Amino acid sequence: MNRLPGKVAIVTGAAQGMGAAHARRLVAEGAKVLVTDVNAAAGEALAAELGDNARFLRLDVTSEAGWAEAVALAEQAFGPVSVLVANAGITGSNVSTVDMSLAEFEKVCAINQTAVFLGIKSVVSSMLRAGGGSIVNISSISGIVSIYGTPNPAYAASKFAVRGITKFAAMEYAPHKIRVNSVHPGYIRTPMMTATLNPEQIVLASGNVPMHRVGEPDEVSSLIVFLASDESAFITGTEHIIDGGLTAQ
Ligand SMILES: NC(=O)c1ccc[n+]([C@@H]2O[C@H](COP(=O)([O-])OP(=O)(O)OC[C@H]3O[C@@H](n4cnc5c(N)ncnc54)[C@H](O)[C@@H]3O)[C@@H](O)[C@H]2O)c1
């Protein structure tokens, strides 16, 4: 398959889980991908597996200087950046509002929310050089509704915020052919899920999903490929829910 010819992508949080699945699918569809993560060992292993069409850079998404380095490396290795998948995220502890420390609230927001701002800010000039681009910001169904099982208020706040900045940037850059959309996964089987929910809780969560199962990372990657590709050329500023029907109830 070759749905992403000539595309140059940066994927954050790509060492494992959904980010790794997205990097694999983007390369399989003909893109060149800068795999980034704070987990250098797993990120380097993935880039090695993907071969000449991938490189790895250790990027902490909260670092503005790190973002500049990532864009420069992607440009130098592959050319101007045309796709950003802002996927890195953390849940934080499973705590109530009164029990959440300000430090942890700010840490979750820095990675899930502020980093999305830094990502957009950092890639726009490269995308202008590419003649346009597609920015896909990963939120959650916790950014659409207040759902039972959301770990804490910072996760909810940060994932809702991703919708806002996505729509703002979509309006700003629509005339420049840079599209900005958000993706809102439901329960997806990744290391994040298995770290947050035990097997019994996963069965319980599946029971609440109309399709009676959790999703697989590669199912989300199919949506990412579509949004990254020119097939979605008239889609910007929109929210794409992928949750087996959970929030439709
Ligand atoms: N798994 C789910 O059910 C689910 C549901 C909705 C939304 N999401 C969102 O999807 C995205 C991917 O989730 P996942 O389940 O694959 O998670 P995961 O924990 O399996 O992977 C997340 C990756 O992000 C990296 N990361 C963490 N902090 C970072 C930082 N500061 N800088 C760079 N990388 C960092 C981690 O090292 C890890 O490789 C996240 O934004 C998450 O909030 C997940």
Confidence bin at 44 (pLDDT 50/70/90) = very high
- Whether the per-residue pLDDT at 96 is higher than 90: the answer is yes
In DSSP terms, which residues pair with 34 in a beta bridge? 10, 55
Task: Give dist(CA 126, CA 72) in Å, integer.
Answer: 9
Residue range 115-124: mean pLDDT, rounded: 99
> What is the Cα–Cα distance from 175 to 8, expressed in whole angstroms?
21
Provide the b/e sequence for 186-203 (b: ≥16 CB within 10 Å). bbbbbebbeebbeeeebe
pLDDT higher than 90, residue 148: no
Q: With H, G, I as helix, E, B as strand and everything else as coil, classify residue 10.
A: strand
CA of 153 to the centre of ligand 1 (A): 17
CA of 88 to the centre of ligand 1 (A): 5
Give the domains, in start order, of the chain with CATH numbers. Answer: 8-243 (3.40.50.720)
∠ CA 7-169-153, rounded to 5°: 110
Task: Report how far residue 153's alpha carbon sits from residue 68's, in angstroms, rounded to the nearest whole number.
Answer: 30
For 184, other C-beta atoms within 10 Å of its C-beta total: 22
Give mean pLDDT, residues 185-190: 97
Residue 196 confidence (pLDDT): 85
Looking at every residue in the chain, the average pLDDT score rounds to: 97
Give the residue numbers annotated as catalytic, written as ranges.
155
pLDDT classification of 133: cutoffs 50, 70, 90: very high
Confidence of residue 1 (pLDDT cuts 50, 70, 90): confident
> Which atom of ligand 1 is closest in space to residue 21's alpha carbon?
16
Share of residues in the chain with pLDDT > 90 (%):
95
Q: What is the DSSP letter of 182?
A: E
Could you give the CA distance from residue 223 to residue 226 in angstroms, rounded to a whole number? 5
Q: Residues enclosing ligand 1, CB less than 6 A? A: 12-13, 15-19, 37-39, 59-62, 87-90, 111, 138, 140, 185, 187-188, 190-193
Placement of tokens 């949506």 in the chain: 223
Q: Could you write out the DSSP letters of every residue in 120-153?
A: HHHHHHHHHHHT-EEEEEE--GGGTS--TT---H
* Index of the ligand 1 atom closest to the CA of residue 141: 6
The answer to whether residues 39 and 64 touch, using CB atoms and an 8 Å cutoff, is no
Mutate to test the pocket of ligand 1, among 10, 18, 106 (most ligand atoms within 8 A of CB): 18
Whether the pLDDT of residue 147 is over 90: the answer is no
pTM, two decimals, is 0.99
Which pair of tokens denotes residue 225? Answer: 């490929």
The residue whose CA has the least distance to atom 21 of ligand 1 is: 17
Q: What percent of the residues of the chain are helix, what percent strand, and what percent coil, each to the nearest 5?
A: 55, 15, 30
Rounded percentage of the chain residues whose pLDDT exceeds 70:
100
Average pLDDT over residues 40-68: 98
| Helices within 84-240 (DSSP H only) | 102-109, 115-130, 153-173, 191-196, 199-208, 217-228
